[in-house]
Amino acid sequence: MEIDWKQLTAVATTAMEKAYAPYSNFPVGAAALTEDGRIISGCNVENASYGIGLCAECSLVSELFRTGGGKLVAFACVDGKGQPLMPCGRCRQLLFEHSADGMLLQTISGIKTINEVLPDAFGPKDLQK
């Protein structure tokens, strides 16, 4: 499956423009390609009780399941200027749980696999041991 990184970045940027970030003023958008060819997106949604805000990746995974589930093949995340943004550790774990083998991420240092950005990750297979 060919990955159009410009399109993923554009979709992430459009999602970022819908972010609700009145407290941090740091809007984030995310977009991903699924195994079946869908492009899904998400944005961060903050809350006055800071700890219960949602990252763009959380919104994206909700959209994944809302639109039929599956696994993520490629992922892009952008900041308020549309520049690549590395997911935080919590969100890398969330993405790992729903990634296809070898999922690719656009990062600030180039395209990397999910295993490169979260080596030795804990996941569903570990619960079967």
Residues annotated as catalytic (active site), given as ranges: 57
Q: What is the per-residue pLDDT for 129?
A: 77
Q: What is the per-residue pLDDT for 125?
A: 86
Find how far residue 75's CA is from the centre of its chain: 6
- Rounded to whole angstroms, the Cα distance separating 29 from 41 reads 7
Is 95 exposed, middle or buried (CB count within 10 Å of its CB: 0-12, 13-18, 19+)?
A: buried
- pLDDT tens-digit readout, 7-45: 999 999 999 999 999 999 999 999 999 999 999 999 999
Rounded to an integer, the average pLDDT of 82-102 is 96
- pLDDT tens-digit readout, 66-77: 999 999 999 999
Q: Is 103 left (phi over 0), alpha (psi -120 to 50) or beta?
A: beta
Q: What is the per-residue pLDDT for 1?
A: 78
pLDDT-derived band at 47, boundaries 50, 70, 90 = very high
Q: Which domains does the chain have, with CATH numbers?
A: 5-127 (3.40.140.10)
Find how far residue 69's CA is from the centre of its chain: 15
